[in-house]
């Protein structure tokens, strides 16, 4: 992890969706998928900072799309914990959890996910193995033309990788419990760093190999190690920014052209 140097205080939190020169929509798949990916990249990279309001009207003008696919993309992002909808206010980017909250989340994950991985090693169906392999493969294929988009996609695949293991090994209740923690997307918001993806891919490969081999002990150990290393990666950042969870200096730096 690179060292963190002091940065200037950011400007007041903006209203997002007006004049932001981020990547435009691509003519592939559906417009809704494109909108989702563009917004995911901006949220994960903190280009849209915590607390920033997200205007549907401004997004529609900026992206040249109707409100229907934009609303569909926002609903997906809300389900992933990246945005919140407030009555009479609308959508805004979710706050990043404090260091204490992150610590509690990782403690709970250490209790649940290694057990789920061990159980999944004995339960994975052929289809689930193929799905896990596809997720790992997707993580190897970043969008070379857009670092933020590539990072956002990686966070998306990472979350699905962990959810599939939890669902297979622990069942629907465990998957729903981990979903409520919504830790993966916030983790990648804090750790916007290219080396993180490479380290995580190697750890996922070790875990995947143990799962496919049907080795419960190896799978349990690989998941535990992955979680420990994930927390080790995030700890210096949390210590640097304290318990406010605002990451204001980092936000200011990432918004600088």
What distance in Å separates the CA atoms of residue 93 and residue 53, rounded to the nearest whole number? 7
* pLDDT > 70 fraction of the chain, expressed in percent and rounded: 79
pLDDT score at 17: 55
> 80 by DSSP, 3-state: which?
coil
Tell me the pTM. Answer: 0.75
What distance in Å separates the CA atoms of residue 78 and residue 84, rounded to the nearest whole number? 6
**Span 58-81, pLDDT tens digits:** 999 999 999 999 999 999 999 888
Phi, psi of 92 (to 5 degrees): -150, 160
β-strand partners of 16: 54
Each residue's pLDDT tens digit in the chain (257 positions)? Answer: 333 322 223 334 445 554 444 444 444 567 888 899 899 988 888 888 888 999 999 999 999 999 999 999 999 999 888 899 998 889 999 988 888 888 899 999 999 999 999 999 999 999 999 999 999 998 887 655 677 788 888 888 998 999 999 999 999 999 998 888 877 778 888 777 667 888 899 999 999 999 999 999 999 999 999 999 999 888 887 776 554 444 555 555 555 44
């Amino acid at each position: 992890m690179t060292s963190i140097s002091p940065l200037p205080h950011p400007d007041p939190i903006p209203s997002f969706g007006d004049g932001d020169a981020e990547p435009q929509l691509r003519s592939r798949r559906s417009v809704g998928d494109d909108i989702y990916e563009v917004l995911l990249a901006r949220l994960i990279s903190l280009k849209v900072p915590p607390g920033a309001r997200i205007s549907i009207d401004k997004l529609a003008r900026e992206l040249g799309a109707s409100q229907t696919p934009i609303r569909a993309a926002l609903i997906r992002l809300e389900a992933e914990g990246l945005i919140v909808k407030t009555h009479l206010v609308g959508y805004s980017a979710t706050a990043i959890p404090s260091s204490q909250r992150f610590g509690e989340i990782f403690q709970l994950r250490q209790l649940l996910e290694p057990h789920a991985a061990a159980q999944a090693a004995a339960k994975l169906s052929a289809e689930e193995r193929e799905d896990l392999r596809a997720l790992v493969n997707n993580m190897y294929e970043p969008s070379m033309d857009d670092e933020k988009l590539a990072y956002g996609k990686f966070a998306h695949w990472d979350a699905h990788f962990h959810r599939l293991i939890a669902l297979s090994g622990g069942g629907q209740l465990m998957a729903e419990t981990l979903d409520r923690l919504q830790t993966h997307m916030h983790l990648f918001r804090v750790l916007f760093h290219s080396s993180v993806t490479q380290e995580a891919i190697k750890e996922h490969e070790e875990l995947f190999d143990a799962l496919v081999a049907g080795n419960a002990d190896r799978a349990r150990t690989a998941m535990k190690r992955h979680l420990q290393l994930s927390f080790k990666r995030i700890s210096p950042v949390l210590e640097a920014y304290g318990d406010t969870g605002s990451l204001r200096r980092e936000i200011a730096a990432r918004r600088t052209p």
